[in-house]
Structure 1
Amino acid sequence: MNLTHATLVLLLAAEIHGTDEGVRAAAKNVVKKLPRSQRDLIYLVIDSKQPLQMVWQIALNLDA
């Protein structure tokens, strides 16, 4: 798994669950599968007070 896959998982969790808890749970699952050098962004989502909002902000800043 790489950071692109993990970001896609978070976007899907945000769309499907639509809750902070759902996004945080998805982030906790994928962070274990990433190389240590790519975990920073996912830890920011996990530690955020509003992980759902943070994922939508990440989505807005993705390059097409």
Structure 2
Amino acid sequence: EKINLPVKAQLSWKPLNIVNVDKESAHKVIDMVNSLDDHDDVQEVFSNFDIPEELFEELK
């Protein structure tokens, strides 16, 4: 019988400290993360910032 096991496994980084950011910092952080993510030499981007849901929706 088939056993339903995951085909792919992945490790992820979990921050020890989470930094809350304000509206001004959120713009800068999101721009930086997007720039890093778009760079050809970058494979993955990790961060430890937390943007409140309301602010995140406003920034979209």
- By relative contact order (CA 8 Å, sep 6+), the higher-ranking structure is 2
Normalised by the length of structure 2, the TM-score is 0.32
Normalised by the length of structure 1, the TM-score is 0.31
Higher helix fraction: Structure 1 or Structure 2?
A: 1
Higher strand fraction: Structure 1 or Structure 2?
A: 2
Bigger radius of gyration: 2
